Amino acid sequence: MNFGVQTRPRGNQDRSIVPMINVVFLLLIFFLMTASLTPPAPFEITPPEAEADPAEPRAGTLYISADGAMALGTVRGQAVFEALATDPPDGPLPIQADAAYPAAELATLLPNLAEVGITGILIVTVHP
Amino acid sequence: MIDVVFLLLVFFMLAARFGQEGALPLTIGSGGETAWSGPPRLLQIGPHDILLNGRVEAPETLVLSLSELVQPGADLVLLRPVQGADMQRLLDVMTLLQAGGLTNLTLVAP
């Protein structure tokens, strides 16, 4: 019986792994390019569905949950208005509100936003 | 090195978000900088119905009736959501208006 080591040349084994590494690198570069590393929403939010112009998710989004809790970065609650006043966004403010959030409450929120110098908002949606 | 590459690959696979996100713009009324022109156009958005200047309007005829009142794209249209209308309902109406060329929208408090 032959209990000896495998006689397959080592170079052969190394070469068979090269295509796999190529594929892995390709996938890695693909995910590097497509990944949008925005911080996750501070609470569970189901954005409303709409056919809207595609937009990149970006930092500085104001999150509003279904029960009206607000979050902007690390700031929570009514303090978001102070944070917006000291560090106003360039351009319209992206707002990601839950689909079940009452629209009338958003309407009452807007004068507060206008007070701190915001002239437009973007409502973040998802494609159905 | 391959281990590290695999680790990075798994990390980016998990971290990537492929949500097809979009955004709809809204103007915030900024205290009468531009004069109001033209006839009134106030859309009251209820959970199941839409009132244009106080009269019930079907979604199919809404854009047509509104475009008689405004210059599409230029004039402001006021949206007033009432109790019971949620964000999904508001966005539905907004996409309907945007598709009809009415892009200058603002929200007023009930």
Contact A31/B16, CB-based, under 8 Å? yes
Is residue A99 one of the residues assigned to a domain?
Answer: yes
Is residue B15 one of the residues assigned to a domain?
Answer: no
Question: What is residue A3's predicted lDDT score, i.e. its pLDDT?
Answer: 67
Helix (H, G, I), strand (E, B) or coil at A125: strand
Q: Which residue range forms the structural domain that includes residue A51?
A: 39-128
pTM confidence score: 0.71
Contact A36/B17, CB-based, under 8 Å? yes
Is residue B80 one of the residues assigned to a domain?
Answer: yes
Residue A21: list chain B partners with CB under 8 A: 2, 5
pLDDT bucket at B100, cuts 50 / 70 / 90: confident
Both tokens of A74, joined, read 């690390």
Chain A window 45-104: which residues touch B at a Cβ cutoff of 8 Å? Answer: 47-57, 92, 94, 97-104
By Cβ distance, the residue of B19, B22, B86 closest to A99 is B86
Is residue A110 one of the residues assigned to a domain?
Answer: yes
Residue A98: list chain B partners with CB under 8 A: 87
User: B57: which DSSP letter?
Assistant: E
Helix (H, G, I), strand (E, B) or coil at B99: helix
DSSP string, A9-48: -HHHHHHHHHHHHHHHHHHHHHHHHH---PPPPSS---PP
ipTM of the modeled complex: 0.70
Q: Does A29 touch chain B (CB under 8 A)?
A: no
- Domain containing residue B46: CATH number: 3.30.420.270
Helix (H, G, I), strand (E, B) or coil at A128: coil
Among the listed residues B49, B48, B97, the one whose alpha carbon sits nearest the alpha carbon of residue B75: B97
Question: What is residue B33's predicted lDDT score, i.e. its pLDDT?
Answer: 55
For residue A86, the distance in angstroms to the closest alpha carbon of chain B comes to 19
Q: Does A108 touch chain B (CB under 8 A)?
A: yes
Question: What is residue A8's predicted lDDT score, i.e. its pLDDT?
Answer: 56
By Cβ distance, the residue of B9, B28, B91 closest to A118 is B28
pLDDT, tens digit, 9 for 90 and up, residues B70-89: 776 667 788 888 888 888 88
A120 CB-near residues (< 8 Å, 6+ apart): A91, A92, A93, B25, B26, B27, B28
Both tokens of A85, joined, read 């006043």
Question: What is residue B50's predicted lDDT score, i.e. its pLDDT?
Answer: 84
pLDDT, tens digit, 9 for 90 and up, residues B28-47: 765 555 666 677 788 888 88
Question: What is residue A11's predicted lDDT score, i.e. its pLDDT?
Answer: 57
Report strand pairing: B42-45 vs B50-52: antiparallel
For residue A4, the distance in angstroms to the closest alpha carbon of chain B comes to 29
Cα–Cα distance for residue pair B69/B39, rounded to 1 Å:
6
User: B27: which DSSP letter?
Assistant: E
A55 CB-near residues (< 8 Å, 6+ apart): A94, A122, A124, B21, B22, B23
Question: What is residue A2's predicted lDDT score, i.e. its pLDDT?
Answer: 63
Strand partners, A121: A93, B26
Residue A107: list chain B partners with CB under 8 A: 79-81, 107-110
Is residue A8 one of the residues assigned to a domain?
Answer: no
- Domains held by chain A: number: 1
Contact B22/A50, CB-based, under 8 Å? yes
- Domains held by chain B: number: 1
User: B86: which DSSP letter?
Assistant: B
- Judge whether A49 and B88 are in contact, CB under 8 Å: yes
By Cβ distance, the residue of B22, B28, B82 closest to A54 is B22
Cα–Cα distance for residue pair B76/B103, rounded to 1 Å:
8
Torsion from C-alpha of B94, B42, A89, A60, nearest 10 degrees = -40
By Cβ distance, the residue of A49, A57, A110 closest to B88 is A49
Average pLDDT by stretches of 10, chain A with 128 residues = 59 72 86 71 82 74 87 84 84 86 86 83 84
